[in-house]
Structure 1
Amino acid sequence: MDILFLVIVVFLIVLATIDLVVGVSNDAVNFLSSAVGAKVAKYRTILFVAAIGIFTGAALSNGMIDVARHGIMLPEHLSFYDVICVFLAVMVTDVVLLDIFNTLGMPTSTTVSMVFELLGGALAIAVIKLFSGATSSNGILLSLGDLINTEKAFSVIIGIFLSVAIAFVLGNIVQWIARIVFTFTYRVNGKTTNSEGETDGLISSSLKIGIFGGIAITSIIWFLLINGLKGSSIMTSDVKEAINDNTWLILGGGFTLFTIIMTILSAFKIPVLKFVVLLGTFALAMAFAGNDLVNFIGVPLTGLDAYSDYISNTTGDATSFKMTSLMNSAQTPTIYLIIAGIVMVIALMFSKKAQNVTKTSVDLSRQDEGDEMFGSIGAARVLARTTQKTAASITNHIPKSIVTWIDSRFNSNAAVLPQGAAFDQIRASVNLVLAGLLIAIGTSMKLPLSTTYVTFMVAMGTSLADRAWSRESAVFRITGVLSVIGGWFITAGAALILCFLVTNALFFGSFVAMMIAIITVIILLFRSNINYQKNNTQNKTDELFSKIIHCDDKTECWELLCKHVRSITKENLQLVAEKYEALTNAFFYEDYRTIKRTTIQTESQRKEIKRQRRKQIIALRHIDPILSVEKGTWYFLIINSLAQMVYCLKRMGEPCKEHVGNNFSPVPNIYIDEFLIFRNEIVNIINRAVSIENIEQIRDEAAKLQSNLSDYRKNIIHDIHTKHVNIESMTVFLNLVQESQELLSALRHTMRGEKKFEEQ
């Protein structure tokens, strides 16, 4: 029996390693997005700075894991078997949930997921105890308050709402003030602009940036003292007391010193803001590792402590041995912290999922228009309209001269951004400094603010203040923010419910259920990784689009756009050929699952074409206006014809799915054999059309085949009226033939558009 418990504890430790990798992938967005979005340095350099911060934070952390030990559940009334069920359920739920969110590219909070998993597991055990009439050592019936630390759970929930609202509002206000001061032209010639829009002198420019840098550096240092080092071994009670007693002296002295230093550096045109952003990245990474490490290794190490206590003092009954020892605080051995730090650094350096999650946060706060990751939902559309009307109403009551002056300070067209940057270094600095300040203030006030929530919502607030959400992109950005926020709350609910159910299954299913859970999580992680690798193949068309957006040479933009259109057309024609062949085969051979899968894929392709249309319309703005007008007509012919081909597949698929799903009579073999000849020719023509060579010849062949299909369709109609054929099956078959004709017609239009679009 004991050996099985050892296997479970070892598995918990293995899951802790996986959780470190998955957790770092998810939380990397907290400290990477600002530096990556502003392109302050090469990606590897930013990773190196963050890696140093992570390792330092992990090594200096004292490893207090009280949240896992007795922060949510109260283990003095729980047996060793009870806590093992809870810990295994927590780790299984945590790894699976976080991996799902990472794969979807959605940031979520490891703190909240762990707390709600512990709450769900503890609640499951509490319900079991209460229904079984469990008593304390004094013979008194246990209550819910004896088993669960409800106060801690409620404080976390309150912290969620506070952090989301406060971070967004303050991010908006602070960034608005910063932009009024600096505008978007602060980097031109190393100088800033004054209230009249004129270039400031060297002293004035240096002083502005110096004061901003002084505030930023002082805030970051204070954040490191209060938050980054709060759990470290060097932060003794005497040091904490000294910091608390001299807070204003430290802040005032630091501000004065750093303002002088930053002003001097700015006068010599040394990039002060780059230093601020990199230091902020280091600080947030350090605080993340020092404080959130418990989220990843707290539960497994508590399980190890529980097992050690059980083995040392047990009488052999795991269901009666109480975990009173877990009520005491424990410190993690330094070697564990160093190993955890190394694992986190390796995960950060090599995780593709970390880049994916960071991309979500950066894309939602991007200054310019581009490839929007999200569509639009009703709530986002209502919010966008309401906000626009409110803003217009407020603007009408402000003197026009003031509105004009403010608009001049927010002229993003004058921004000078590095190649590929999503926003400038002013905003990146505000993101990091404000996030650090809010987290530090929350820590000092004992408020359980989530690092993920604060950093993400500050970034959203600053991007809104910078007018990065234009009328063309606002609804997509709002949808993205609502999706991410919704994902956070779904995480909390899903973590609680899923862990509650898993804990019950483990408790009543004993070792059989535990082994099934272990095998299940291994399979899920393996499949998730394979699926992610398939979906994460780098699409060169997206890289081309990014080059077009950031290209200043209109001739080069045109060449890149031609490549992009050609690539999208080729990809969609190949998909149409594959789906058309799969759909017709599935209909004739009554393969319902393939028909259903193909119709779902067709709908996804339709949405993708719609997204590509929007991207390429944006790209058309970057070429010569006269050329854009001339080629725009042919571009729309291409993209609309591709969309029409997909609609043909959709109109084929729905009747076929209904027919086969209802198990109606199949099409007679004689008609199948006749049609397959046409079908194979159509697939061959579409595949040949992928190449833009011999366009006229292929169009002529398609027209001839279209005419032959028309004659064949008339023969089918004649047979329906004169022969004893099944009306249901022949009606669907007739629709298949008609849509095949339309498919060829749309293909001919696509090829004509391609030819005209490419002509010089």
Structure 2
Amino acid sequence: MDILFLFVIVFLLLLAVFDLSVGVSNDAVNFLNSAIGSKAAPFKRIIIVASIGVFLGASMSNGMMEIARHGIFRPEYFTFYELMCIFMAVVVTDIILLDMFNTLGMPTSTTVSMVFELFGATFVMALIKMSGGIEQGLSELLNTEKALTIIMGIFLSVAIAFVFGMIVQFVARMVFSFNYRRHLKWNIGIYGGICSTAIIYFMLIKGVKDLSFMTPDAKEWIGANTSLILGGCFAVFTVLMQLLHALKVNVLKIVVLMGTFALAMAFAGNDLVNFIGVPLSGLASYQDYIANGGGDAHGYLMNSLNGPADTPVVFLIAAGVIMVVALSTSKKTRNVSKTEIGLGSQQGGDEIFGSSRIARRLVRWTISLFYWVRDNTPRNVRAWFNRRFNIDEMIMEQGASFDLIRGSINLVLAGALIAFGTSLKLPLSTTFVTFMVAMGTSLADRAWGRESAVFRVTGVISVIGGWFLTAGAAFIGAGVIVVLMYVGGHWAMIGLAVLTIFIIVRSNRRFRMKKAEDDGDTLFQTILTTDDKTRTWELLLIYVMEQQKKFLRFAEESYGKITDAFINENAGTLGKTEASLLRSKSMLKNARRKETLCLRRVSHEMAIEKNAWFHLSNNCCMNVLYNLRRINEICREHVDNNFHPLPSRYISEFEVMRGHISVLFTEVFDMVNNGTSEQVPALRRRCDDIKDMLSDTYHRLYRQLREVDPSSMTVMYVYINMLQETQEMVSALRKYIRAYAKLHDSDFSSRKKGTVANQWGKVR
């Protein structure tokens, strides 16, 4: 049995390494997004600054693991075996939850996940112990006050951070405006002094004072002289920042990098327990059991966990190295960052989230309130605000999602709120505060326009819902797993360990596949950031054709699968095809939204000339998709009901028509792929011929319906409807060919477009 427990401890420590990597990927949004979104420095430089902060914070952390040792449960009432089940359940659930959220690109709270996993596993274990007739009640076995305090902190941090972010950004924008360089001459020194002092305050209150090298005397001196320290910092940094500005140094970039370092250091120093607290508590329990347990795992109580934790420095340094490596190499770090940056982007872009009913209502109410305020505000006041909030004067770095003013406000305000909440003993979550501050500042900055607000609000609601879903899933998941381990014994532990490894491997493989697909969309970002309007149209045409080529190939394959499945009565294929058609609909809508955003960046004359044909080509693709969905729907209903199959004499004539349609799809695809338009007249005539052939066939079938066996009447109606939808699909394809020709009929010859394509291939 002791060998089994050794295996559990080794497994916990190995998962701790992975948990550190996954946790850093999730929490990287807390300290990276503002610097990345504002382009304060190259990505590698931002990672270096954050990595130094993470390593110092982890290496000098006090290593106090009390919340994992006795913050949720009373260890003196639990045996070694029971705690091993609890710790194993917590780590397994935590890995699965965090990796799932990171893969989806949804930031969540590692603090909430760990606490509610401990709470859920301990709650279920307490119920098991109480059913066995122990004297202690639930209130004696659990520390429910801690969990309730954290829930209160969640509500407070979400609301307070959003409101303060909105107010502070509104005031900052009134002071600096979007053309902030005009107002930096004398304001930048004071602004830099305030920001730097707030960062120092954050590091003193939230970070440095809790590090391992801080003695009680040093902590007491800092507490007694906080006001003096902050006043001196403000004076020094104000003069320093004004001097740097006079020397042509961008003070705002320095402030953003300072804030990134401070948040990264505090994150590693304070949230380290979320990643390694449970495995190290399990190691301490095992060492105590081996030394004093006498082999009685089911009877030895873990009083030793009530003592203070003394984490060896080697563990802290190793944790710091792992976190730095994960931060530097993890692809999921950028995926989670993409969510927050996308929701707060100043310019239109790829909206990650869709539209929801509650978001639409909130936006509608907000617009009504805005109109009411506007109508009741004096004209000269409105004019003054419009000058200060003139987005056309916005100054941003090349490729940035927002400017340096907002980036610095995000970091400084998040740090100040976390420090203030900590001084009031409120358990504010770093993830919650930083995310909601970023959302509040983006709203105040008019980043949520009429055409993006509903998607942004849906995204915020989805992320907030994900936080609470984390708590519920962590509680229930850990509770279920601890029951399986307690009842199933060592076989259940081994089985769940294998299952965890399998889930991790599969999740990472799926993420790599999804990442490979996303990497192909770099051209979209290039179009949005280029300033050459003539080149924008050339790049957009390449982008549109690439998307439509993918759809044409998909449509041809789907039509073949649907018709084959109908002939062969394969209901499974029809079900899978229906799911793929729904996914294709979302992809088409997303591509159209992106392409419309890009079309706004071409020259006015070119936009007028190409706008109608651009939308016609998109509509034709959507019509083809609708035809495929209707064909699949009627075929699936027929096959699911086990009605009579299509008679063989009709199968042979249909296969001839399907062959012509397949050739048509192939030739249209080749034309788009080659970027030529010489085949357009011939292809349009071919479409007419196929439409006539289909029309003649189903009209002939209509006339023959009286002679058909009544038992085959149903399948004949399905067959006729399929032919009619196919004719509509060919008609949509004919219109697409015309739109394609008009898109290519311009001063930009196919030779020139090919040159641009070659240049883009070299850049990529």
TM-score class normalised by the smaller sequence: over 0.9
Q: Could you give the per-residue CA deviations for residues 331-357 of structure 1, whole angstroms, max 9, x where no partner exists?
A: 211111111111111111111111011
Check if 1:403 corresponds to 2:389. no
Aligned to 1:728: 714
1:335 is matched with which residue? 314
Matched residues in 1 for 2:380 and 2:3: separation? Answer: 79
Q: Using the TM superposition, give the Cα deviation of residue 541 of structure 1 relative to its aligned residue in structure 2, in angstroms.
A: 6.2
- Offset at residue 660 of structure 1 (A): 2.0
What is the one-letter code of the residue matched to 1:324? N
Residue deviations 1:651-688 (CA, integer Å, cap 9, x gap): 01112222222222322233223322322332232132
1:125 alignment counterpart? 125
1:562 aligns with 2:541: yes
- The within-5 A match list for 1:160-199 is 160-187=154-181, 191-192=182-183
Q: Report if aligned partners of 1:65, 1:302 keep a CA contact under 8 Å in 2.
A: yes
Alpha-carbon distance between aligned partners in 2 of 1:383 and 1:515, rounded to the nearest angstrom: 49
Q: Confirm or deny that 1:630 pairs with 2:589.
A: no
Cα separation, 1, equivalents of 2:486 and 2:700: 68
Within the candidate set 671, 688, 702, 1:703 is matched to 688
Deviations 1:352-387 (A, max 9, x none): 111011011001000112221111101001111111
Deviations 1:165-207 (A, max 9, x none): 00000000000111001111123xxx42xxxxxxxxxxxx332
Q: In 2, Cα distance between the equivalents of 1:376 and 1:180? A: 31
Partner of residue 685 from structure 1, selected from 664, 672, 675: 664
Classify the secondary structure of the residue corresponding to 1:537: helix
- Alpha-carbon spacing, 1:184–1:587, altered in 2? closer, same or farther (3 Å): same
Q: Which runs of 5+ in 1 are unaligned?
A: 135-140, 193-204
Q: Does structure 2 conserve the Cα–Cα contact (< 8 Å) formed by 1:64 and 1:231?
A: no
TM-fit CA distance, 1:540: 6.2
Closer, same or farther in 2 for the Cα pair 1:681/1:262, shift >3 Å?
same
Distance 1:300 1:663 in 2: 56
1:213 matched to which residue of 2? 192
1:539-688 aligned within 5 A = 539=518, 542-688=521-667
Taking the TM superposition and a 5 Å limit, the aligned residue runs for 1:245-264 are 245-264=224-243
Is 2:17 aligned against 1:31?
no
Q: Is the Cα–Cα contact under 8 Å of residues 689 and 698 in structure 1 kept in the other structure?
A: yes
TM-score normalized by structure 2? 0.95
Partner amino acid for 1:600? Answer: A
Give 1:698 shift: 2.4
**Once the 2 structures are TM-superposed, how far is the Cα of residue 538 of structure 1 from its aligned partner?**
4.3
- Are 1:292 and 2:271 an aligned pair? yes
Q: Which residue of 1 aligns with 2:288?
A: 309
CA distance in 1: counterparts of 2:458 and 2:619, whole angstroms = 26
Identify the residue that residue 751 of structure 2 maps to in structure 1. Answer: none
Q: Alpha-carbon deviations, 1:623-666, whole Å to 9, x = none?
A: 12222112111111100000000001110111222222222232
Identity across matched positions, percent: 50
Change over 3 Å in CA distance of 1:328–1:680 after alignment to 2: farther
Change (3 A) 1:682 1:69: same
Displacement after TM superposition at 1:701 (Å): 2.0
In structure 2, what is the Cα distance between the partners aligned to 1:246 and 1:721? Answer: 99
User: C-alpha deviations, 1:61-112, integer Å up to 9, x for none?
Assistant: 0211111111111111001111111111111111111111111111101110
Q: CA deviation at 1:393?
A: 1.8
Summarize deviations over 1:569-589 as a string: whole Å, max 9, x none.
111111111211122222222
How far apart in 2 are the matches of 1:523 and 1:660? Answer: 36
Q: Which residue, 717, 720, 743 being the options, matches 2:702?
A: 717
Q: 1:64 to 1:744 in 2, by over 3 A?
A: same
Letter in 1 for 2:692: S
C-alpha deviation, 1:229, in angstroms: 2.0
Q: 1:532 pairs with 501, 511, 517, which one?
A: 511
Equivalent residue, structure 2, for 1:233:
212
Q: Which residue of 2 aligns with 1:472?
A: 451
Question: What secondary structure is seen at the aligned counterpart in 1 of 2:64?
Answer: coil
AA aligned to 1:713 is Y
Provide Cα deviations, 1:259-311, integer angstroms capped at 9, x if missing partner: 01001111222111111101111111111111111111111111111111111
Provide the rounded CA distance (Å) in 1 between the counterparts of 2:263 and 2:346: 23
- 1:64 alignment partner in structure 2: 64
Instruction: Give me the whole-angstrom Cα distance separating, in 1, the residues matched to 2:410 and 2:149.
Output: 25
- One-letter code of the match for 2:457? I
Cα 1:453–1:321 shift into 2, 3 Å: same
CA distance 1:685–1:222, change in 2 (3 Å):
same
1:83 aligned partner = 83
What aligned pairs does 1:144-543 form with structure 2 within 5 A after superposition?
Answer: 144-187=138-181, 191-192=182-183, 205-539=184-518, 542-543=521-522
**1-structure distance, mates of 2:700, 2:427:** 74
CA distance in 2, matches of 1:656, 1:347: 49
Please give the alpha-carbon distance, in whole angstroms, between the structure 2 residues aligned to 1:329 and 1:594: 60
CA distance in 1, matches of 2:432, 2:489: 37
Between 727-736 and 150-159, report the one with greater CA deviation. Answer: 727-736
**Residues 503, 541 of structure 1: alpha-carbon distance in 2 compared, 3 angstrom cutoff:** closer
Report how far residue 18 of structure 1 moved: 1.0
Moved more, 368-377 or 423-432: 368-377
Give the distance between the partners of 2:264 and 2:177, measured in 1 at CA: 29
Secondary structure of the residue aligned to 1:726 is helix
CA distance in 2, matches of 1:428, 1:297: 31
Aligned residues of 1:175 and 1:466 also touching (Cα < 8 A)? yes
* CA spacing shift, 1:230–1:678, aligned 2, 3 Å: farther
**Closer/same/farther in 2, CA of residues 444 and 267 from structure 1, 3 Å limit:** same
Counterparts of 2:667 and 2:490, CA distance in 1: 59
- Contact kept, 8 Å, 1:206 with 1:264, in 2: the verdict is no
Separation in 1, partners of 2:706, 2:7: 73
Match of 2:349, as an amino acid?
Answer: G
1:37-66, CA deviations, whole angstroms, 9 ceiling, x for partnerless residues?
001111111111111111111101021111
Amino acid at match of 2:146: K
What is aligned with 1:138? none
Deviations 1:115-156 (A, max 9, x none): 11111001011111122211xxxxxx1011211111111110
Residues 541 and 568, structure 1, Cα contact 8 Å, conserved in 2? no
Q: Sort the Cα spacing of 1:450 and 1:315 in 2 relative to 1 into closer, same or farther, 3 A.
A: same
Query: Once superposed, what is the RMSD of the aligned Cα atoms?
Result: 1.4
CA distance in 2, matches of 1:20, 1:591: 46
Residue type of the partner of 2:415?
G
- Structure 2, unaligned runs of 5 or more: 747-764
**Separation in structure 1 between the aligned mates of residue 62 and residue 667 of structure 2, nearest angstrom:** 65
User: Which residue type is aligned with residue 470 of structure 2?
Assistant: T
How far apart are 1:539 and its partner, in Å?
4.3
Structure 1 residue 754 and structure 2 residue 724: aligned?
no
Q: Provide the C-alpha distance between the structure 2 equivalents of 1:687 and 1:58, rounded to a whole number of angstroms.
A: 58
Q: Give me the whole-angstrom Cα distance separating, in 1, the residues matched to 2:653 and 2:509.
A: 41
TM-score of the superposed pair, with normalisation by structure 1: 0.95
